[in-house]
Structure 1
Amino acid sequence: MTNCDEVRVGLSARLDGEAATWAAQAGLAPDALDTHLAGCPDCRSWSRAAEQLTRAVRVRAVAVPDLTAPILAAVAAERTATVRAARRQAEGRRQILRVALGATAVVQVLLALPALFAGGGDLHTGREAASFDIALAVGFALAAWRPERARAFVPVAFVLAACLIMTSAFDVAEGATALAHEIGHVAALVQAALLWALSRTATVSRETARPATVAP
């Protein structure tokens, strides 16, 4: 019978599933290892320790589920929720701006109507200015009603506001009019700012209306 060192080589081969090959190469019977273990306490102890060590170091591969679809679905859901929140916020701002712009248009019409029908002073010039104010107010009201058209009115509103403020500043500086009489032209600048902000919210609303997609 072989010595303990050779037997332990055979035991290692057995743990690797090659006991028969080892026995054939060593010229021993297939049960030679068991026969030696039956009479050798040291080799039995060594065999048990080797088996425990082998079980400890051999880790079975764990099947990992494919989480691609759930992850993509979660990302898409989160993005959709973000887009909806941004859309609600933009819609809230747009409604406030629509109401504010519409209110300024109504006030502008109410202030222009008396000059359109009242007499006294330079009647013709007053009626022309009132007609212009009413036409401009109708444009602002249309922009408040249809915000997607607000962008077209922005250049007109800012040019008008700039011209009114500059001419008023010149007239006040030359003493042709009082500052209190011209302070109302600030409303034109406010209307232009409201119109610009409304056109911006209309653009944001179109962008957030696009569906959220996540590429796999």
Structure 2
Amino acid sequence: MNCDDVRVALSARLDGEDPQAPAAALEAHTDACPGCRSWLARAERVTRLTRLQAVDVPDLTAPVLAAVAADRAAARDDAAATVRARRQVLRVAVAVAAVAQLAIALPILLAGFGVEADPHTSREMASFDAALAVGFALAAWRPERARAFLPVALVLAACLAGTSAVDVARSSTALVHELGHLSAVVQAGLLWALGRVSGEPQRRLPTSLAPGRG
């Protein structure tokens, strides 16, 4: 084996590869050849320094946390925009319900329009409807207060639905006459949805994920 072949084999052995040469032959050559022996010493030193040298790895913690915080902030902004849009739609729906309730109540309350056998009872019911209309209007104007009015609307819807079901079952009234009470159920549902959307807490990003914090 000449020096070039020996050095190729020694380099392969230093790299953990198969030198493709007998170890005894390599040792015999390096013992007899000062040039290859010196080359092997330098190669071993370079290999050792390369393996032990520390690698400078940049600290990417701050940029990564900043990117995570930015993504979460964007997601939070998108969610907030969606909530605002839903709340606006529900506010309009509740306001329409208030106007409809008031449009039914005021003619009876002020002029007796549509009053049948019992004007006094009809006006009392119209007064109750007007009060409900004011409650719905307040909820549409100040959505954060919708939950305060919700128990009244739910109890009213439950009572009307329950009594209507009983009366229809007993044939005390026709089903078509009781369908109007479904509006109370719809109104209660709208009020519940508005109160739920308006009461959703704003989620804040944990301080541990804020930019610049470790």
TM range (shorter): 0.7 to 0.9
Distance in 1 of aligned mates of 2:69 and 2:41: 52
Candidates 149, 156, 164, aligned match of 1:153: 149
Greater shift, 120-129 or 54-63, is seen at 54-63
- Retained in 2: the 8 A contact 1:72–1:214? no
Q: Following TM superposition, where does structure 1 have runs of at least 4 consecutive aligned residues deviating by more than 3 angstroms?
A: none
Aligned pairs for 1:1-216 within 5 A: 42-59=33-50, 60-116=53-109, 117-119=111-113, 120-121=115-116, 122-204=118-200, 207-208=201-202, 210-215=203-208, 216=214
Distance in 1 of aligned mates of 2:141 and 2:32: 98
- Retained in 2: the 8 A contact 1:112–1:130? yes
**1:176 offset after TM fit, Å?**
2.4
Aligned residue pairs total: 174
Distance in 2 of aligned mates of 1:57 and 1:203: 65
SS in 2 for 1:85: helix
SS in 2 for 1:177: coil
Structure with larger Rg:
1
SS in 1 for 2:58: coil
SS in 2 for 1:58: helix
- Retained in 2: the 8 A contact 1:164–1:185? yes
Deviation by residue 1:76-98 (Cα, 9 ceiling, x = unmatched): 21221111111111111111111
Distance in 2 of aligned mates of 1:96 and 1:149: 16
Q: CA RMSD in A?
A: 1.8
Deviation by residue 1:149-184 (Cα, 9 ceiling, x = unmatched): 011111111110010111112222223222111101
Distance in 1 of aligned mates of 2:180 and 2:141: 24
Percent of aligned pairs sharing the same letter? 55
Structure 1: unaligned runs, 5 residues or longer: 1-39
Deviation by residue 1:58-85 (Cα, 9 ceiling, x = unmatched): 2222222222222221222122111111
Distance in 2 of aligned mates of 1:49 and 1:214: 56
